[in-house]
Amino acid sequence: MARRETALQAAHGRLRQLIGSEFRSGEKLPNERDLADRLEVSRATVREVLGQLAAEGVVTRTWGIGTFVHDDAERVPVSIGDVTALRDRITATGHRPTLQDASVSRAKCPADCARVLGLEPGSPVWRVDRLFAVDGVPAAWIRDHLPLRFDGRDLDPSGLLSIDLDMFEFLASATGMPVRRAEIELTAVLADDEATERLGVAVGHPLVTATQVGYGTGGAALFHGHITVRTDVLTLRISRGGAPEPAPPAG
């Protein structure tokens, strides 16, 4: 095992040096067979090393198209460590957020959402789909689910069809309970047909998806959502520190 790890490390270093010396940002790399011949290693080793370099952000791999040196064009850093509107996080970096597409509809509550919201699977809920762009480029597709009623109040999320109203702002106004805490779980995924249509990337393009749950006072779950992000447009940043102060209503 140690010998194999050493061989992988050596191949990793040689391939990274090759990329840095012979290829420019955005250029396509030779296929795995040609790289294996140049490095005098197996194709399996090249494939594994390319996977490592993709995870490190050195290259971008797209199924059926090829492997490219990562484009050094600026990506927008967005913090996900607080409960601030995505719109405001993007604006704070000096970029322009827009809402390219949005819809609000009644839907059946998915099982994972039902567990969080304390509902029966298949119960009617609001589904809010929004596609955010940064400087005109599709960047984040957000699908949220929230109950039709909360604490005896009917919820009407139609205002979320405008970028002027954020989910946190809406919930603070509609429920009288601001989102105090958001739990986020990140997963690396490859674009499927629906993500391709929404975000304008090729099938197999690397993406990051985040499952987000927003909690109000007393730990009451207010919404459950999924955020799918193009990391060639946005970078997700998590800041850790001491105990946070109570978060104000987001906005």
Distance from CA of residue 17 to its chain's centroid? 30
Residue 250 near residue 168 (C-beta atoms within 8 A): yes
- According to the model, what pLDDT value does residue 244 have? 39
Catalogue the E-assigned strands of the chain.
59-62, 66-69, 76-79, 97-108, 124-134, 137-147, 149-150, 153-154, 181-190, 206-215, 221-229, 234-237
> pLDDT tens digit string along 156-179?
999 999 999 999 889 989 998 888
* Architecture per CATH, 2-69: Orthogonal Bundle (1.10)
Instruction: Output the pLDDT for position 237.
Output: 67
Three-state SS sequence of 85-107: CHHHHHHCCCCCEEEEEEEEEEE
Domain borders along the chain are: 2-69, 76-237
Return the sign of the alpha-carbon dihedral for residues 199, 200, 203, 208.
Answer: negative
Exposed/middle/buried for 16, CB within 10 Å: 0-12, 13-18, 19+? Answer: middle
Tell me how far apart the alpha carbons of residues 250 and 79 are, in angstroms, rounded to a whole number: 14
pLDDT in tens, 81-118: 556 678 888 887 788 899 999 999 999 999 999 999 99
What per-residue confidence (pLDDT) applies to 62? Answer: 76
Name the one residue in this structure whose structure tokens are 């970028």.
163
The DSSP annotation for 214-229 comes to EE-GGG-EEEEEEEEE
Q: How high is the pLDDT of residue 159?
A: 95
Please name the residues in contact with 192: beta carbons below 8 A apart, sequence gap of 6 or more: 203
Residues of the chain with pLDDT under 50: 1-2, 240-251
pLDDT of residue 53: 82
| Whole-model pTM over 0.75 | no
Output the pLDDT for position 77. 64
Residues in the chain: 251
Going 51 to 57 to 61 to 66, the CA torsion angle's sign is: negative
Give 79's strand partners.
237
How many CA atoms does the CB half-sphere of 102 hold within 13 Å? Answer: 19
Q: How many helices (H) and strands (E) does the chain have?
A: 7, 12
CATH number for domain 76-237, candidates 3.65.10.10, 2.40.160.20, 3.40.1410.10, 3.30.70.270: 3.40.1410.10
Cα separation, 249 vs 172, whole angstroms:
7
